[in-house]
Amino acid sequence: MSGPAILSAAAGVEALALGAGGPQGPKPRRALSRRNVFVYGTLLVVAVYYLLPLYVMVVTSLKGMPEIRLGNVFSPPVEITFEPWARAWSSACTGLNCDGLSRGFWNSVRITVPSVVLSIAIASVNGYALANWRFKGAEIFFAILIVGAFIPYQVMLYPIVIILREIGLYGTLTGLVLVHSVFGMPILTLLFRNYFASIPEELFKAARVDGAGFWGIYVHIMLPMSLPIFVVAVILQITGIWNDFLFGVVYTKPDLYPMTVQLNNIVNATMGVKEYNVNMAATLITGLVPLVVYFVSGKLFVRGIAAGAVKG
């Protein structure tokens, strides 16, 4: 479109060049461009790569043993049966007993719930104190806490056994809850500190002028503003503690083993034939809790992570 055309239009002459024809509105996009093929192709390959094992597990857990022996790992079940799931839950055998995963499930619940509540309660107050009440030595305290997050667990495994033994909590669920709470502290404190640091400082000052104290500000001002970060912390802790194997096997006794340890024992128990379908079902049941947590709160999780990441 050239200058004279525009000029003549401006002069009131109806110019064809400005009227009909020519590009108009949004630019059309081809559905099957090279770019689209590449992007969606890559996504598809990656998705299949991740989902294939899950598919094999689900399919296998729904097959009977005769069908599994045929060796067609990827073929869907001819005859769907939920019997392996029932067995995995209530009657699969470990080396010691034959009451399935149910015992471990309830142990895990009794470990996870108090650990999550305790660790988040303490860490949120920690983070709040570190972010808003800059007491003497706060920086050093925080540095020590963060260093704690980088010490390998192996180093601390045995000393903690001794500590728990000395205070009489070795082999109990209380002891394990304590260990989980302590080990969640560095990362959770960091998470909460960063979140609270991103809340405008003037809000905190205004509350102080209004006469609110340490707990008043925490309960009335900070807590109601922190739902996203609490969701993040709950998800991190539930999945982390639920999936824990090491601490569970080290610090508890066989009848108090969490679900993950129970699962391992079921899968590794060698009594006659390996029941792949039961093992797959047991694994899926164990993974169900974190999976459900992610599905239910995925959106809040992303929002919370983003909110906490603003300030470091």
Partner 1 sequence: MAQTAISVSVRDLSLSFGVVKVLKSLNLDVAEGEFVVLLGPSGCGKSTLLNCIAGLLDISEGRVFIKGRNVTWEEPANRGIGMVFQSYALYPQMSVERNLSFGLRVAGMPKDEIARRIARAAEILQIEPLLKRKPAALSGGQRQRVAIGRALVRDVDVFLFDEPLSNLDAKLRSELRVEIKLLHRRLKNTMIYVTHDQIEAMTLADRIAVMKGGVIQQFDAPQVIYNRPVNRFVAGFLGSPGMNFLEGRLEQAATGRRFAAEGVSIPLSTYDFETAPRPGPAAFGIRPEHVGLNSGAGWPFSASAAVEVVEPMGSDTLVWLKLAGQNFSVRVTSERAPRAGEMVTVGLDPLRASLFDDVGNRL
Q: Give the binding site for partner 1 (CB under 8 A).
A: 200, 202-203, 205-212, 216, 220-221, 224-225
Q: How far is the CB of 306 from partner 1 (least distance, A)?
A: 18
Residue 167 Ramachandran class (φ > 0 left, ψ -120 to 50 alpha, else beta) = alpha
| β-strand partners of 218 | none
Query: Half-sphere exposure of 140 toward its Cβ, with a 13 Å CA cutoff?
Result: 3
| Cα→Cα distances 104→21, 81, 97, 266, 305, Å | 72, 24, 12, 11, 31
Q: How far is the CB of 297 from partner 1 (least distance, A)?
A: 20
List the Cα angle 27/32/34 in 5-degree steps. 95
Nearer Cβ to partner 1, position 226 or 265?
226
| β-strand partners of 171 | 252
HEC secondary structure over 106-123: HHHHHHHHHHHHHHHHHH
Nearer Cβ to partner 1, position 70 or 227?
227
Nearer Cβ to partner 1, position 40 or 214?
214
Nearer Cβ to partner 1, position 78 or 206?
206
Task: Give 3-state DSSP helix, strand, coil % of the chain, rounded to 5.
Answer: 70, 0, 25
Nearer Cβ to partner 1, position 132 or 279?
132
Tell me which DSSP letter residue 32 carries.
T
Q: How far is the CB of 57 from partner 1 (least distance, A)?
A: 44
Nearer Cβ to partner 1, position 216 or 298?
216
| β-strand partners of 252 | 171
Q: How far is the CB of 124 from partner 1 (least distance, A)?
A: 16
Structure-block tokens of residue 88: 């995995």
Q: How far is the CB of 200 from partner 1 (least distance, A)?
A: 5
Nearer Cβ to partner 1, position 25 or 211?
211
| Cα→Cα distances 241→18, 26, 171, 203, 250, Å | 68, 51, 17, 34, 14
Q: How far is the CB of 227 from partner 1 (least distance, A)?
A: 10
In whole angstroms, what is the distance from residue 33 CA to residue 28 CA?
12
Q: How far is the CB of 210 from partner 1 (least distance, A)?
A: 3
